Amino acid sequence: MGRLKILNSPTIRRMPSYLHKLLRMRFEGRTHVSSLELAEYMNIEWIVVRRDIALTGIKGQRRVGYEINELIEYIRDYIGWTNPMTATLIGAGALGTAILGYDDFARYGLQIESVFDCDSNKIGRELRGHEIYDVATIRTRLKANPPKIGILCVSNSTAQLVADQLIALGIKFIWNFASICLKVPDDVIVQREVLAGGLAMLCVKIKSRESETPLGLEE
């Protein structure tokens, strides 16, 4: 019996940043990297980087550091970014547009296959290579082959309604950018993205700086 795996959010949230840097280094012809170099790049403590990387299961070699190709694969495997993940995006507003345009997502295996909106001014128009479909057609368009992930970039007032429709289609994973918490059955997993969470982090750091209370190592 395996040990209960602890969801270590700060570590997991840092993984794409390591990956972004490592892919860049590989592109530049580099083959090895030290945890110290990654720590300097990320501007975090060296010991945090060491611990993060150790969680992926890779073994570093003294003096030469980590083999970049190998570390990329360990990180991808740790996050589960080894296979393509299909997704539908509901909400073609500014945030939905930003998500569609985020190049790294495709590189990480996220395949946004369809885009829906309820705004008649948007329906039928093209957005970054996708035709925007009427949100009323979600069921008919997706029922034969529902995607794995539903990405919700809709208003707070419609988020629950749209989530219910996705769940009815058998979609089990929802990435929710609305500010409300969704009510979902136990077998559905919601990852809620709170832009204000980053602002809260920044403001705690500002408050700490201005009150001259030093902050400890991020846990």
Q: How far is CA 75 from CA 23, 171, 218, in A?
A: 11, 26, 20
Least spacing, CB of residue 140 vs its own copies, in Å = 26
**DSSP annotation string for 39-52:** HHHHTS-HHHHHHH
Which of 37, 70, 86, 95 binds its own copies (CB under 8 A)? It is: 95
DSSP 92: -
The size of the interface with its own copies (CB under 8 A), counted in residues, is 73
Residue nearer to its own copies on the CB measure, 54 or 181: 181
Least spacing, CB of residue 154 vs its own copies, in Å = 13
Residue nearer to its own copies on the CB measure, 92 or 142: 92
Which stretch, 6-14, 29-37, 65-73, 117-125, contacts its own copies (CB under 8 A)? 6-14
Least spacing, CB of residue 173 vs its own copies, in Å = 6
Per CB under 8 A, which of residues 166..205 are in contact with its own copies? 172-173, 175, 179-181, 184, 189-205
Least spacing, CB of residue 103 vs its own copies, in Å = 9
Residue nearer to its own copies on the CB measure, 94 or 144: 94
How far is 142 from 90, CA to CA, in rounded Å?
A: 12
Burial class (CB in 10 A: 0-12, 13-18, 19+), 151: buried
Q: Residue 64, CB half-sphere, CA atoms under 13 Å: how many? A: 9
Least spacing, CB of residue 196 vs its own copies, in Å = 4
Contact assessment for residue 33 and residue 71, using Cβ atoms and an 8 Å cutoff: yes
How far is 216 from 64, CA to CA, in rounded Å?
A: 30
Contact assessment for residue 114 and residue 133, using Cβ atoms and an 8 Å cutoff: yes
How far is 12 from 161, CA to CA, in rounded Å?
A: 30
Per CB under 8 A, which of residues 97..156 are in contact with its own copies? 97-99, 101-102, 104-105, 108, 110, 148-149
Per CB under 8 A, which of residues 39..58 are in contact with its own copies? 41-43
Least spacing, CB of residue 62 vs its own copies, in Å = 26
Which stretch, 45-53, 95-103, 115-123, 130-138, contacts its own copies (CB under 8 A)? 95-103
Contact assessment for residue 92 and residue 65, using Cβ atoms and an 8 Å cutoff: no
DSSP 181: P
